[in-house]
Chains A and B, each alone.
Chain A
Amino acid sequence: MDKETLARMFRDVFTVCTTLSEEVLARYAELEIAGQEPRRHLPKVGAHLDECPDCTRRYEELLALLRAERRGEVPPVPSARPFDLQFLSSPGPNLWVEVKETFYRLAAEIPIVLRRAVAAFGPLPTALSPCRVTVAAGVVRDVEGTAGIESLRIPDESANVVFVLTPGPVGTEEKEITFILRVEDFRSGEPLGQVRVNLCDSQSQLLQSKTTAADGRVTFRGLIGDYILRCKHAGRTWDFPLKLAPATPCGDEDPNSHRLRSGNDD
């Protein structure tokens, strides 16, 4: 027995596995209720449930509830008074999900799609909206000749930091995209250099690791697919799930998407 073993034991005792999200459990339970062999449709989920008592217990409780409801065993409860909806007046949903101590994950995926040689944000999570920024000369000017582009500002006031995500030039044949992350001080707006930024695949496997330059920027090129952008600064870690989708064959514009760069916008 050594310190590391003891620490691992303490962590395991206090940690409850939440690998399977509520939605995944809900989907699996719906398939089960419908008699559609959930294990065949979602084999990885089934395999995890075989191994993980934490998730199994959550799943079994949900399934029991749904079955009871289906059998008509859940008696109605008259609602005596309306629910308190004061929270709807608050500024908006939290941007960050706290995964564990000092580890935060953006509450939803940032979708970026390629359409007709421009990159656009897909439907964005509530409380996130793209903003117009002027980037340094030469950063994206080479593509469309415009210095005014749209970015996504993602603040974390508690850590006094802002992340500005800007899709950069679109690659050849609309198959790839470059994007730039700029890290700023929340209050002063000054760029933060020396921030470690790791680009991981969707399974959290490290692909590239870079450090922001003095202008607070770091650039990743030639990307398409699902990624996690992981930033580490001042003892904290932030994850940005990114989904970079290739251009659609017909190039249809999604009315809900936000165009990032267009010469006609100005």
Chain B
Amino acid sequence: MVDRDNETWIVELKGQRGKQRQEAAFQDLGNSLLPLVRWYLSSYSTLPPPLTHRSYHDLDQLARDIVQDSLLRIWQKGLDLFRGDARFLTFAKAIAINQAKQKLRQLWRRGEEPWPSFNAGEMDEEDIDRLSIAVRSEMVMAELPPEKRVMLREVLQCMDRILAGWCSPREREAFVRKYLDGLRSKEIAQLMGTTDRAVNLLTFNARQKLRQGLEKEGYTLASLLAILL
């Protein structure tokens, strides 16, 4: 690969030195990103179920698809967004990682394997009252028309199942304290005997699992907000 400085990358990728150089620059960029994306995929600990048992050949193809998407994104948006504060190749690598994450999420949503079943029934009565989003949202549900009430209850019960089945007790507690009790990270940290940063990480993990679970059930943000309207 021909080594280039930032300006040369931008000028050539934009096609300002002719089409031949533009295509050569994109091919070089793709070839630079390919091993990195391949490495990222092989080191990714939570690959979507259909990929975990596949051969390396499939991961190679996936890496190639991700690099192809990254080149398109760099062409469509990246060249104009780049300001020259970092090295262009590092910037392109950051884009490629984001593309890889998006692709993995898509595959995860489309995954053929069933998701782990929720550990329903493991909540005791006290937990249900204190930690259940559905129970604590009864007043909101009462304000809604009957059909929306049913829909909201299904969503919130689904969230309860995800929190109970997929999240650790501490993740669940941090999430509930933040969103149901309305406490700040610092207050939650004091209650749980930990740091603000740890609380943020716990709620982040809970949010991520909730997002994956709700998407798997076919919910989107727009569909959830529409219930509340």
Q: Which A residues are within 8 Å of any B CB, using their own CB? A: 1-3, 5-15, 21-27, 29-30, 50-54, 57-58, 61-62, 64-66, 68-69, 73-77, 79-80, 82-85, 87-88, 93-94, 97, 101, 107-108, 125-126
Q: Write the nearest CB–CB distance from A28 to chain B, whole angstroms.
A: 8
**How many Å lie between the Cα of A12 and that of B137 in the bound state?**
17
B40 to A61, Cβ gap below 8 A?
yes
A88 to B221, Cβ gap below 8 A?
no
Chain B residues closer than 8 Å to A9, beta-carbon distance = 133, 179
Q: Write the nearest CB–CB distance from A19 to chain B, whole angstroms.
A: 14
Residue of A nearest to B96 (CB): A65
Say yes or no for B197: interface residue by CB 8 A criterion: yes
Q: How many A-B residue pairs have CB under 8 A?
A: 163
Are A26 and B93 CB-contacts (below 8 A) given A74-B35, A77-B34?
yes
Most chain B beta carbons < 10 A, residue from A8, A12, A15, A66: A12
Q: Write the nearest CB–CB distance from B215 to chain A, whole angstroms.
A: 8
A11 to B15, Cβ gap below 8 A?
no
Contact partner, B143, options A3, A29, A54, A79, Cβ 8 Å: A3
A69 to B36, Cβ gap below 8 A?
yes
A25 to B211, Cβ gap below 8 A?
no
Chain B residues closer than 8 Å to A21, beta-carbon distance = 81
Residue of B nearest to A51 (CB): B200
Q: Give the interface size class of chain B.
A: 35 or more
B180 to A126, Cβ gap below 8 A?
no
A93 to B76, Cβ gap below 8 A?
yes
Top 9 A-B pairs, shortest CB-CB distance: A53-B204, A22-B94, A26-B86, A108-B80, A26-B90, A14-B221, A27-B86, A125-B80, A83-B30
Given pairs A27-B85, A88-B75, 10 additional interface contacts (CB within 8 A): A1-B139, A10-B228, A14-B214, A21-B81, A23-B81, A26-B86, A53-B200, A69-B36, A83-B30, A126-B14
Residue of B nearest to A84 (CB): B68
Q: Write the nearest CB–CB distance from A227 to chain B, whole angstroms.
A: 17
Contact partner, A6, options B19, B200, B228, Cβ 8 Å: B228
Are A107 and B140 CB-contacts (below 8 A) given A30-B87, A54-B204, A68-B39?
no
B23 to A85, Cβ gap below 8 A?
yes
B39 to A66, Cβ gap below 8 A?
no
Q: Write the nearest CB–CB distance from B46 to chain A, whole angstroms.
A: 12
Most chain B beta carbons < 10 A, residue from A11, A23, A125: A23
Q: Write the nearest CB–CB distance from B180 to chain A, whole angstroms.
A: 6
Chain B residues closer than 8 Å to A77, beta-carbon distance = 34-35, 38, 60, 63
Chain A residues closer than 8 Å to B220, beta-carbon distance = 14
**How many Å lie between the Cα of A10 and that of B210 in the bound state?**
10
A66 to B225, Cβ gap below 8 A?
no
A53 to B31, Cβ gap below 8 A?
no
Say yes or no for B47: interface residue by CB 8 A criterion: no
Contact partner, B35, options A15, A53, A76, A94, Cβ 8 Å: A76
Contact partner, A65, options B15, B40, B224, Cβ 8 Å: B40
Are A30 and B39 CB-contacts (below 8 A) given A3-B140, A22-B98, A52-B200?
no
Q: Write the nearest CB–CB distance from A264 to chain B, whole angstroms.
A: 27
Q: Write the nearest CB–CB distance from A7 to chain B, whole angstroms.
A: 6
Most chain B beta carbons < 10 A, residue from A1, A53, A64, A97: A1
A126 to B22, Cβ gap below 8 A?
no
Q: Write the nearest CB–CB distance from B184 to chain A, whole angstroms.
A: 12
Q: Write the nearest CB–CB distance from B131 to chain A, whole angstroms.
A: 13
Are A83 and B76 CB-contacts (below 8 A) given A25-B94, A29-B90, A74-B36?
no
Chain B residues closer than 8 Å to A2, beta-carbon distance = 139-140
Q: Write the nearest CB–CB distance from A143 to chain B, whole angstroms.
A: 31
Residue of A nearest to B26 (CB): A85
Q: Write the nearest CB–CB distance from B33 to chain A, whole angstroms.
A: 10
Chain B residues closer than 8 Å to A26, beta-carbon distance = 86-87, 90-91, 93-94
A75 to B210, Cβ gap below 8 A?
no
Are A23 and B85 CB-contacts (below 8 A) given A13-B207, A14-B221, A83-B27?
yes
